[in-house]
Amino acid sequence: MKASTAMRVWFLVFAVIIFVGIYLTGFSNVHWFLYLPVIALVFASITGICPSYIGISKMFGSKEK
């Protein structure tokens, strides 16, 4: 399932907000784990494939066909 353009823009905006928070906190103060959602959201905004949605769908089952 590919994300719509509006959802891709939302992914990108959310990634930018998290990255600005990382920037304001200081790159040396932030744990590396906080970069993973930013990378996943940028990937989702570029490709239209959301890794977290796929993972949650596999764990709890998806009703989409």
Q: Which of 56, 58, 50, 55 lies closest to 12, judged by CA?
A: 50
Q: What is the pLDDT of residues 21-44, one digit of tens each?
A: 999 999 999 999 999 999 999 999
Kindly indicate the confidence band of residue 3, based on its pLDDT and cuts at 50, 70 and 90. confident
Q: Which amino acid is located at 60 in the chain?
A: F
Question: Residue ranges of the domains in the chain?
Answer: 5-60
The answer on pLDDT for 46 being more than 60 is yes
- Distance CA(53)–CA(24), nearest Å, equals 28
CA–CA distance, 53 with 4 (Å, rounded to integer): 14
End-to-end CA distance of the chain: 10
Whole-number pLDDT of residue 47: 92
pLDDT at 4 over 80: yes
